[in-house]
Structures are given as structure tokens and as C-alpha cells.
Amino acid sequence: MDRIVNGIARGVFVFLYIPIIAVIVYSFNAAGTNTRFEGLTLQWYADLFQDGALMQTLRTSAIVAVLAATVATAIGIMFALGLARYRGRGKGGFMALIALPLIVPEIVLGVALLSVFSATKVPLGIVTLVLGHLIVSLPLATLVLMSSAAMLDPSLPEAATDLGCTPWQTFTRVYFPLLRPAVVAAWLLSFTTSFSNIVMSTFLSGVGSTTLPLKIYSSLKTGLTPSINALGALLILLTLVIVLAVGVSQMRRILVDSRS
């Protein structure tokens, strides 16, 4: 029985990483197609940085993801701290309302937002993309932060006030340092959710605000170019660097805390 379970676990593990390995391998493929392999080349990486349209979609996705993740994390901190200190009725209902966008299909949210923007004559572009991605990212950021905010000692604000802290100093010197790991996790989760979002972007992007996932999706009609494989490999490398940086910093903090 143990051998079967271990075999299934190893199979799932290999299945998860096969697409990632395939993207990296074919980004160096000299054949320029994913159907055969004819040696190694760096040509597609050079072509990637010369593809102005593709780099523009990358910049648009990065700008939208940074804005959506930052706003979602900031609002999520306020929601999390407010709900952690709230003891009255309706707390469960409010939490359900925050998580509701995670249950509603994104295509419904996209159509609804497009109708609102059309009725109010708001032009589609970066702003509408950020608002749309915010609806998807905010519940995730809030739920991540709530789990950490609920573990804080409720007497912390009173103790900080007794020591002469203003409400802002209580937040910056007490709450934020304690919530920093959750804040980082919420921001990264919101960033990746926004950066890879395609459903909301399909409805809310305008002329000149095409995101990278939409560009890649439209490329499927004519076939994926090797430059997109190179871009995927670079994004995987960047993600790995961020994860290692966050992991190393968190490990260093844990070691410092244990020594102190």
C-alpha cells in the first residue's frame, strides 16, 4: 500500500513539473517549433527583447498586477484588522460577502463590470483592468491576512496606547511588523493572480492595454512562437528568485528570533 501511495505521489509530482520543464527546454530549441528538437540556441531570448508588442503587453501586465496587488493588500489589511477586533453581530455575513467574488464565476463578474463601465461611459484601459483584477485579488489578500490578524493579542492596541503610541504608530510599529509575513504572502498571491488573469482582462482591456495572457492566448491561433517560450522561462526564473528571496529572508528572521 505504501509503495502505491508513494508511486502516485511521485507521479503527481512529475506531472506538475513536466510543463515547466518543457517550456524551459523548448525556449532553447533551435528548431523554432515545439514538435521537434534540433539543438540549443539563445536566438529566441534575443528575439524576445526585440519584440516591441510582446514587451509592451509584459509592461502592461506588470503595471496592472503591481497596482492591483498593492491596493488589494492595503484594503485587505484594513478589513483583516477591523474584522479581527469586531465582536458584534454580522461578522460571519460580512466575511461571506468578502469571499463571495471567489465563488461567483469570473465571466459573470467580467460581464457585470463591463456593463457598469459601459453604462457610466468609463473608457476601458489600465484603470478598468486594475479595478477588475482588484475584485479577484482582494478576497484572497483579505483571507490570507485575516488568518494572521486573528492570532494577534487583542490587548496590543491598549498596551501601545498606554505607552504613548498614536493609532498610526500602533499600526506601523506594532501591527505591521507582526503582520509582515502575511502582508508579503498576500501581495505575492494577489500579484500572481492579477498577472495571470485572462477572463477579467478579456472584458476590461481596451485599445493599447492588452495584457500578456491575452497576447499569448491570441497567439494560439497562429501557433506559439519560441519567443513566448523564452518569456515563460524567464518568468519561471523570476518567480523562483522571488520565492527563494522571500524564503531566505523568512528563514533568517526565524533564526534571529530563535537566537534572541
24 part of a folded domain: no
Q: Supply the pTM of this predicted model.
A: 0.81
pLDDT at position 255 is: 54
Highest mean pLDDT among 7-21, 30-44, 66-80: 66-80
Q: If you average pLDDT over every residue of the chain, what do you get?
A: 83
pLDDT bin (cut points 50, 70, 90) of residue 93 is confident
pLDDT greater at residue 70 or residue 15: 70
Helix (H) or strand (E) holding 204: helix 199-204
Residue written as grid cell 530563535:
258
| Separation CA 68–CA 79 (nearest Å) | 16
| Separation CA 62–CA 64 (nearest Å) | 6
| Separation CA 98–CA 134 (nearest Å) | 12
95 part of a folded domain: yes
pLDDT greater at residue 48 or residue 116: 116
- Is the model's pLDDT at 193 over the cut of 80? yes
Mean pLDDT of 116-133: 90
66 part of a folded domain: yes
Mean pLDDT of 179-203: 88
pLDDT at position 71 is: 95
Write the pLDDT tens digit of every residue in 28-40: 888 767 677 777 8
CATH of the domain at 158: 1.10.3720.10
Q: Say which residues have a Cβ less than 8 Å from residue 233's Cβ, sequence separation at least 6.
A: 23, 24, 27
pLDDT at position 17 is: 84
162 part of a folded domain: yes
Residue 29 pairs in a beta bridge with 40
Which amino acid is located at 124 in the chain? L
Q: Say which residues have a Cβ less than 8 Å from residue 94's Cβ, sequence separation at least 6.
A: 83
113 part of a folded domain: yes
242 part of a folded domain: no
pLDDT at position 164 is: 81
Considering the chain, what percentage of its residues have pLDDT values greater than 90? 14
- In this structure, are residues 150 and 88 in contact, taking their beta carbons and an 8 Å threshold? no
- Is the model's pLDDT at 85 over the cut of 60? yes
Write the pLDDT tens digit of every residue in 206-251: 887 888 888 888 877 766 677 788 888 888 888 788 777 766 666 5
Mean pLDDT of 165-180: 85
pLDDT at position 159 is: 83
Residue 86 dihedral angles phi and psi, to the nearest 5°? -85, 130
pLDDT greater at residue 48 or residue 194: 194
Domain limits for position 185: 58-211
**Number of folded domains in the chain?**
1
221 part of a folded domain: no
